[in-house]
Amino acid sequence: MRFDYKEWHIDCRAHHDEDGSYYAQATITRAPGAGRTRVETHHSGELDAFANESDALHCARAWAIEWCDEVTST
């Protein structure tokens, strides 16, 4: 699942492991601009494990949005 939120591009993924679980992950990217000279990229790592892909993607999306909100409010 890929989408834009505020000035960020978010790529959410659900990694399917051998144990049958889906692990939520997100990559957040911001292009240069407004005083920034380089691309910023942040990786969530594995956030949590879920029984299905949909729940993992929902977790990754919620985490990414919360992360972006925290960064832009400071």
Residues 6-30: what's their mean pLDDT?
A: 96
pLDDT at 46: 96
Q: Where are the domains of the chain?
A: 2-73
Give the helix ranges, DSSP H, for 1-74: 53-73
Q: Report pLDDT digits (tens) over 31-62.
A: 877 777 788 899 999 999 999 999 999 999 99
Strand segments (E) across 1-74: 2-5, 8-16, 22-30, 40-43, 49-50
Provide the pLDDT confidence category of residue 74 given band limits of 50, 70 and 90: low
pLDDT at 50: 98
For the ranges 4-13, 14-23, 30-39, which has the lowest average pLDDT?
30-39
